[in-house]
Amino acid sequence: MNADRTFGDRIGAALRSAPALTLPPDLVESCIDSGQASAQLAESQFRSAFQRSLEAIPRRTRAGGLNGVTGHISESVAELILVEAGWSPVEHFVGPFSGGHGIDLALLSPSLEHLVVVEVKGTLQPSRWPRLTRGEIDQMSLEWLSAPGNAGMRSLGLDGTAVSGVVLLFQFARRQWKGVLTADFEAVLPLSNLRELADFPAL
């Protein structure tokens, strides 16, 4: 491992090398309707964009909450995938919009021995994959997890040294997803198949 590379560099490289896995449309469809009136327009537009394309919705008519709904649907899909792989939810954030709370999910690994925090990103843009935030503190680094402003970690009463991590990206336009795993926030491994989720962090 190159010690000069930041954690953001390592996790970015791992995400780029991770294979794109197939995203079942029915799984996404099952996560769209929150039943909340405040999200009805944005959820309807998400469904149209997912079934057809984002370009089917003129930019001037797009709901202000479309990005927040996309984020929450991404988190819901991620949780379903992890639960199917044997994980047990500890904490998630009630929608219908995402944002502003640090980590997105916290689950116990299938062995029930490790608490894993999950960062989720999703996009309807067909030309790109979503990315983690880079800045003074890289998203999902130990410093970011342990920062006072990370409300999700504060609600768990933990810092970054007490958890492992997963990042999942969803490319809704291409019906694809990918991910990376880190047991110690040093080494980052691309997710190659669902079996690796069932075995994590004993890889």
Q: Which pLDDT does position 1 carry in this prediction?
A: 45
Q: Which pLDDT does position 2 carry in this prediction?
A: 47
Q: Average pLDDT, stretch 96-108?
A: 86
Q: Which pLDDT does position 126 carry in this prediction?
A: 95
From residue 21, give the alpha-carbon distance in Å to each of 114, 126, 141, 174, 203: 25, 15, 25, 10, 19
- Residue 133's CB is within 10 A of a number of other CB atoms, namely 12
**Residues present in the chain in total:** 203
Q: Among 5-9, 151-155, 175-179, whose mean pLDDT is lowest? A: 5-9
Please state, rounded to an integer, the average pLDDT across all residues of the chain. 92
| Percentage of the chain lying above the pLDDT 70 cut | 96
Alpha carbons 200 and 182: distance in angstroms, whole number: 9
